[in-house]
Amino acid sequence: MRNTARWAATLALTATAVCGPLTGTSLAAPASLYAPSALVLTVGHGESAALATPARAVTLTCAPTPSGSHPAAALACAELRGADGDFDALTGRGDVLCTKQYDPVVVTVDGVWQGKRVSYERTFANECVKSTHGTSLFAF
For the domain that residue 83 is a member of, what is the CATH number?
3.30.350.10
Task: Say if 139 falls within a structural domain.
Answer: no
Task: Say if 81 falls within a structural domain.
Answer: yes
Task: Say if 6 falls within a structural domain.
Answer: yes
Task: Say if 55 falls within a structural domain.
Answer: yes
Task: Say if 10 falls within a structural domain.
Answer: yes
Task: Say if 30 falls within a structural domain.
Answer: no
Does 12 score more than 60 pLDDT?
no
pLDDT tens digits, 16-47? 544 454 444 445 555 556 678 999 999 999 99
Task: Say if 41 falls within a structural domain.
Answer: yes
Count the residues in the chain.
140
Task: Say if 61 falls within a structural domain.
Answer: yes
Does 115 score more than 80 pLDDT?
yes
Q: Which domain holds residue 98?
A: 2-17+35-132
